[in-house]
Amino acid sequence: MMDSLSVLLQAVPYLLKGALITIEAVAGAMGLGLIVGIQMAVGQVYGNLFIRRLICLYVWFFRGVPVLVLLFLFYFGLFSLLGLNLSAFGSVILVLGMTTAAYQSQIFRGAIESLPHGQLKAARAVGMSDVQAVIHIILPQALRLSIPGWSNEYAIILKDSALAFVLGTPEIMARTHFVASRTYQHLVLYLFAGVLYFLLTWWGVKALRKLETRVRIAGYAHSGGTR
């Protein structure tokens, strides 16, 4: 009992450094997913048939194949095939980013489609171009509506980041495994890892909820917007 606790305590600083790597990876993936996801969402709602089909295909692929398989496929397979010399860390961000982009695009798309048609009409009526309308009218509203869904996606990517372990990235899981395989105190160490992930999830979701309150517009109904 004392054995396991002392092992744990000694390992904590080392594991916390892993948490830092995890956070960086998740931030990178979510950021990539946000940028690509918004564009895909706009493409799906306002684009022509070809673009819509292409995006559908992308979403279908990245939502249908397990992350573990994608990591193996890209890191050990495609990246070296294409001559890309990405580190494990970079590959994780890229693969997770592409996956979350697929999911995020659907979250944003749902939000955009839930806005009343009158919003776009009114924007056009005052002379805005479609691009201006989307940037200044549609997206500000849609992004606010997307925060809960995005928060959910954050929690999922945070958990998927544990798979970066198989590529050797020194994040939480990899470091926990390293210590566990040397000290045999698997139980306490993995439980601690679980606690770390739990806290990261909790704080992240709380922060996003604060963001939601900060950017809330008075009287704005959740679906359908103001009438």
Partner 1 sequence: MNVGFYTETLIPALNRGLLVSLGLIVPSGLIGLLLGILVGTFRVYGHPVVRKITDGYASVFRGTPLVVQLFVLYFGLPNLGIYFDAYTAAVIGFILCSGAYHSEYIRGGLLSIKNGQFLAAQSLGFSMVKTLLWVIVPQAIRRALPGCGNELIYLIKYSSLAYMITCIELTGEGKVIASETFKYTEIFFIVGFIYLILTSVASFFLRRLENSLRLPGFDHYSL
Binding region for partner 1 (CB under 8 A)? 4, 60-61, 63-70, 72-73, 76-78, 81, 155, 158-163, 165-166, 173, 177, 180, 184-191, 193-194, 197-198, 201-202
Can you give the three-state secondary structure of 145-209, one letter per residue? HHHHHHHHHHHHHHHHHHHHHHHCCCCHHHHHHHHHHHHCCHHHHHHHHHHHHHHHHHHHHHHHH
- Structure token digits, residue 218: 């008075």
Give least dist CB 21 to partner 1, A: 15
Choice between 48 and 85, CB closer to partner 1: 85
Give least dist CB 192 to partner 1, A: 10
Give least dist CB 125 to partner 1, A: 29
Choice between 132 and 220, CB closer to partner 1: 220
Give Cβ neighbours of residue 13 (< 8 Å, ≥ 6 apart): none
Q: Which of 2, 1, 3, 11 is nearest to 192 (CA)?
A: 11
Give least dist CB 26 to partner 1, A: 12
Choice between 89 and 160, CB closer to partner 1: 160
Q: Which of 46, 67, 41, 49 is nearest to 157 (CA)?
A: 67
Choice between 106 and 146, CB closer to partner 1: 106
